[in-house]
Structure 1
Amino acid sequence: MDTTVANLGQVTQTQMRRKRVLNKRVTVALFIAPALLVYLLYMVYPIIGTLQYSLYDWKGGPDKTFVGFNNYVKLFADSVFWSSLANNLKVVLASVFLQIPLGLLMALLLFAPIKGMRFFQTVYFMPFLMSTVAIGLLWVFMFDPLNGSVNRLIGLFGIENIAWLSESKTAMASILLVVVWQYAPFYMILFKAAIVGISEELYEAASIDGAGPWTRFSRITFPMLVPTIVTSSILAIVGSLKAFDIFYIMTGGGPSNSTELLGIYMYKQAFIHFNMGFASAVAFMMFLLAFLVAGIIQYLEYNRKKGAV
């Protein structure tokens, strides 16, 4: 009798535990459901739809003709696609090797014992707060070959006027300068937040051991900033692969496609030539490239952490 009661008690406790676990899972699912629904509706579904449209010869109307992967065959055979991809890679390199280091340097300067750092923090962040359209138009006027302030400045050193945005040799470099100037403050804020999170005890212990500023940076600050650098790199690369606005405003992809990016190439195919199916193939390739690059970086970072452990 006692054994039967004990067994019934164990069964009852097991059922209650299962019920609590089930209730917890249901509660978690209910909290996740709204965000998951938004993600599926506005992220996953458009990606699947883009892939579907890329398999059709579609001009934007009700008529569509299934062509399979013919749009991708045309895409890989198009020289403008490859030149646009090469220009995107230039933006990626400028973002990773100029934008992020500049953001880190700006963040470090905010912690320097210099008066007026709060003022400089505000000045540093202003470019990121400005409208991209306003920034593009501002720099178009500054790069004006006749009356632009940039040519007036270099004219003080005896250098002749340069058509910065009208020559293939200088157009890309000019826009990259603007991009680095605009987005470096964003990475400055990321690095500043990460630096604030580093314990002061580490720096105090290093100072007691006689470590100088460079040693403290290389042995403490930089290793602690690696996760932030990885996150910044992913954001920079993905943002560079889908860049569009500032380039379209300043040059429209010219001259001679020297600043043509995949985003501009896709826009022209969709809304100027009305090749919606072909433009969808370009869009899906942009997504695929960003997804693969982000996945590779995350995989390398995971292996680094695993090896460190």
Structure 2
Amino acid sequence: MSYRRKQIVIAYALLLPAIIYFTIFFFGPIAVELWASFYSGQPMVGESSFIGLGNYTRALSDALVHRSLSATMIYSFGSTILTICFALLFAAVLAGPTKGNNTVRAILFFPYIVSFVIGGLMWRAILDPFTGILNAALISLNLPTQSWLADPDAAIWVLVFVSSWKDIGYATLIYIAAIQGIPGHLYDAARVDGARPTDQMRDITLPLLMPTTLFLAVTLGISSLQELALPYLMTGGGPANSTRLYSLHVYETAFQDLNLGYSSALSFLMFLFILLVTFLQFRLLHRDIRHV
């Protein structure tokens, strides 16, 4: 056996545990889900019958699916954009050696290490219209109280805020590391040319942060498109299905309605949708990276 062939055999031997893991726990379930999506009822665990593309046809014409997908898009784009914008702002301030930066960074990062369950229950208690401390503060200021989670127009934006509150610290630290990795001589040359701080941010910092922005947009976007805990804990999908995100709809279809075939079709459609969104993000943002 040649040296080159030995290298290939050793490489695949080292990769074999990971290949087996992903085959069993990632590609395997996707294949089973795709198979189950062609059946009605409860394939694998109960009575079912083959219906072909019937579940997909039903999903594409289901008004509740359209409503949940619309709410998910608002939640995903809103939370991702809000998180990235505020993280970039905080990182620009905290990237320098200013006194107290480490303390502020720790405070910003703390919500990220709190589980979504704890965070969701905490914010539900804070926003409670009768016992919540936020409405108590409004009363003390002689301002009208608000039903934060009972208003169909406001509830989805409350979830966007809570999601951003949790992820801003993580995104800020990623941006700080990226900013600190930008060569200092670029800023020195810009100052010699008379560039103001805003000019340096526009012409140096933001273009060189595009790879980091792409990474955060993809990871945060995928995470938010699959979000289940927040709507389940804070609103239960209400009011009037305004916060019934797609993952919550899939969950209730599978485990409350016990329609595993239809929920499998919904899950596979979301899998394809996430692939499409990720592809578009790479196309749009990677184009800007190539020009940096």
Q: 1:164 aligns with which of 143, 148, 151?
A: 148
| Match among 115, 134, 137 for residue 153 of structure 1 | 137
SS at match of 1:260: coil
Please give the secondary structure, in 2, of the residue aligned with 1:115.
coil
Report how far residue 59 of structure 1 moved.
2.4
Aligned pair 1:69/2:53, yes or no?
yes
Equivalent residue, structure 2, for 1:82: 66
Q: Which runs of 5+ in 1 are unaligned?
A: 1-17
2:40 matched residue in structure 1: 57
Q: Deviations over 1:241-300 (max 9, x none)?
A: 111111111011011111001100001000101000011111111111001111222234
State the match for 1:133 in structure 2: 117
Structure 1 Cα separation of the partners of residues 173 and 20 of structure 2: 31
CA distance in 1, matches of 2:54, 2:6: 50
Deviates more, 1:131-140 or 1:32-41: 32-41
1:243 aligns with 2:227: yes
Q: Would you say the 8 A contact 1:146–1:161 is kept in 2?
A: no
Residue 22 (structure 1) aligns with: 5
Question: Does the Cα contact within 8 Å between 1:168 and 1:255 map onto a contact in 2?
Answer: yes
TM-score using structure 2 length? 0.94
Which residue is equivalent to 1:91? Answer: 75
* Partner amino acid, structure 1, of 2:247: G
Alignment of structure 1 residues 184-263 onto 2, 5 Å: 184-263=168-247
Matched length? 291
In structure 2, C-alpha distance between the alignment counterparts of 1:40 and 1:300, rounded to whole Å: 31
Measure how far apart 1:64 and its partner are: 2.4
Selected match of 1:118 from 85, 102, 106: 102
**What is the letter of the counterpart of residue 274 of structure 1?**
L
3-state SS of paired residue (1:186): helix
Give the fraction of aligned pairs with identical amino acids, expressed as a percent: 30
Q: In the TM superposition, what is the alpha-carbon distance from 1:121 to its structure 2 partner? A: 0.5
Distance 1:210 1:305 in 2: 26
Q: What is the alpha-carbon distance in structure 1 between the residues aligned to residue 148 and residue 281 of structure 2? A: 35
Give the AA of the match of 1:145: P
Partner residue of 1:36 out of 19, 26, 31: 19
Separation in 2 of the partners of 1:247 and 1:118?
A: 33
Amino acid at match of 1:109: V
Amino acid at match of 2:55: N
Structure 1 SS opposite 2:209: helix
1:134-180 Cα deviation digits (max 9, x unpaired): 11111111111112111123334433221111221221121211111
Q: Provide the rounded CA distance (Å) in 2 between the counterparts of 1:112 and 1:287.
A: 40
Deviation at 1:208, TM superposition (A): 2.5
1:225: how far off? 0.4
- 1:113, distance to aligned residue in structure 2 (A): 5.4
Q: Kindly tell me: are residues 285 and 231 of structure 1, through their superposed partners in 2, closer, same or farther at Cα, counting changes over 3 Å?
A: same
Deviation beyond 4 Å, 4+ runs, structure 1: 301-306
Give the CA RMSD over aligned residues. Answer: 1.8
Q: Alpha-carbon deviation of 1:207?
A: 2.1
Matched-pair contact (CA < 8 Å) for 2:41–2:261: yes
Separation in 1 of the partners of 2:289 and 2:115?
38
1:47 matched to which residue of 2?
30
Distance 2:68 2:110 in 1: 30
Normalised by the length of structure 1, the TM-score is 0.89
